[in-house]
Chain A
Amino acid sequence: MASGANDDSKESESSFECNICLDTAKDAVVSLCGHLFCWPCLHQWLETKPTRQVCPVCKAAISRDKVIPLYGRNSSRQDPRDKLPPRPPGQRSEPEPSSSTSFPAFGLGDGGFHMSFGIGAFPFGFFASTFNFGEGRPAPSPNSQDYAEDQFLSKLFLWVAIVFIFWLLIA
């Protein structure tokens, strides 16, 4: 049979074999349960069972978005994305900003603008409403898109507040 010297020599490096084609993994991806596959092999497996996507080795839940591509040092000679099907991209999450503010950010995106309304016995409670500008958090650099949006939002809410106070006074 085909178990020639070729097969025997590969036996020693078998720890990087794809679990589907049993060959050394090409365009390698690894599942969250830790099993290694060629991306084309795994893709075909997921296509075969679209309704029941499980790891071919341990039957843990698996999906296209939950596999991690492995990039070896010399693997970039040919761009794997030129081939079909494209391998899912690696995910890169930003590190947490080391912020000292105790105010939890909510709404309004990442800008440095915070607004809170205190609702209490009118009219006293109304004065508890505060505007905070640029507190604690790193402000976006000037000239950037973020900065312009930030400025716009600040002005918008300021005008909304002024109109609201004015309306309360005349009502």
Chain B
Amino acid sequence: MANIATQRIQREFSEVTKSDESQKNLISIELVNNSLSDLRGYISGPPDTPYEGGIFHLDIKIPETYPFNPPKVRFLTKIWHPNISSVTGAICLDILKDQWAAAMTIRTVLLSLQALLSGAEPDDPQDAVVAKQYKDSYEMFKLTAKHWTSVYAMTGFDKWRYPDFDYKIQRLMEIMKVDEDRARVALSSNNWDLEKATQSLLS
């Protein structure tokens, strides 16, 4: 990797570690395979959002040309959000594309992603299905996002459960012989309508 990129990542690493946000366990990063071009980021779900209480894992790839080009970031933790693909974890955020500036750092990227969780931009969606639900039936979106957070981003006993969703997922798995994740995506994409979700899996 280019010298400037290596040197910057080293400095940024200590910057994140020493930051207030890191002390409060809001963000953190660590190396993958001891390579400075491959990082793992962690952000906590912001309070008063459906993501509260969750820890979201991010895959961060540092390009050769960093910091002149943005890092490639995607969610490893499955998440229900208009600007994040529920399938691939790809993120639609301007600063990770054409609005990147060389003075931005991994720390500011992680904080921007946290801000994205607090305020979605449904008019510039990455996941059209989620964005439509967000605009058409916001309450349903909130419940679904909270359900995804509890299933994929939480560990331990403080998981929030919504028996109706759990029941429908079980039913769809039995009817269609699909795994839990596929059943959850089908139901989430169809406003938890069991019949429509079944049809969507058939087509």
Q: Chain A: residues with CB nearer than 8 A to chain B?
A: 1-3, 7, 19-23, 35, 41, 44-45, 48, 52, 54-57, 59
Residues in A whose Cβ lies below 8 Å from that of B67 = 20-21
A41 and B66 CA atoms in complex are apart in Å by 11
CB pair A45–B68 under 8 Å, yes or no, is yes
Given the complex, which residues of A lie within 8 Å of B103, measured CB to CB?
Answer: 19-20, 35, 56-57
Contact assessment for B101 and A57 in the assembled complex, using a CB-CB cutoff below 8 Å: yes
Q: Secondary structure of the A side of the interface? A: loop
Instruction: Tell yes or no: B12 within 8 A of A by CB.
Output: yes
Interface: B140 (CB within 8 A): no
Contact (Cβ within 8 A) A56 B14: no
B77 within 8 Å of A (CB atoms): no
Taking CB atoms, residues of chain B closer than 8 Å to A3 are 10, 13-14, 17
B103 to chain A, nearest CB (A): 4
- Cβ B13 vs Cβ A22 within 8 A: no
- Residues of A close to B10: CB separation below 8 A: 1-3, 7
The residues of B with any CB-CB pair to A shorter than 8 Å are 4, 7-8, 10-14, 17, 31, 65, 67-69, 98, 101-104
Q: Give the nearest-CB partner of A1 in chain B.
A: B13
Q: How far is the CA of A124 from the CA of B65 in the complex (A)?
A: 76
Partner of B101, one of A21, A22, A56: A56
Q: A48-B69, A56-B103 are in contact. List 14 more A-B contacts (CB 8 A).
A: A1-B13, A2-B10, A3-B14, A3-B17, A7-B11, A20-B4, A20-B102, A21-B7, A21-B8, A22-B8, A41-B102, A45-B68, A48-B102, A57-B103
How far, in Å, is B141 (CB) from chain A's closest CB? 32
CB atoms of A56 and B13 under 8 A apart:
no
Within the complex, what minimum Cβ distance (angstroms) separates B85 from chain A? 27
A1–B14 CB distance below 8 A: yes
Given contacts A56-B102, A57-B101, A57-B103, contact A21 B14 (CB under 8 A): no
**In whole angstroms, how far apart are the Cα atoms of A44 and B103 in the complex?**
13
CB-CB nearest in chain A for B104: A56
CB contacts (< 8 Å) of A41 on chain B: these are 4, 102
Evaluate contact between B7 and A23: CB separation under 8 angstroms.
yes
Inter-chain CA distance A136–B36, complex, in Å, is 69
Q: Given the known inter-chain contacts A21-B4, A22-B8, please indicate yes or no for A59 contacting B101, CB distance below 8 A.
A: yes
CA distance A23 to B14 in the complex (A): 14
Does A48 contact B65, Cβ atoms closer than 8 Å?
yes
Q: Give A67 to B20 CA distance when docked, in angstroms.
A: 33
Tell whether, in the assembled complex, residue B102 and residue A2 are in contact, meaning their CB atoms are under 8 Å apart.
no
- Chain B's closest residue to A44 (CB) is B68
Alpha-carbon separation in the docked complex, A54 to B68 (Å): 12
Residue numbers in B under 8 Å from A44 (CB-CB): 68
Q: When chains A and B are docked, how far (Å) is the Cα of A57 from the Cα of B105?
A: 11
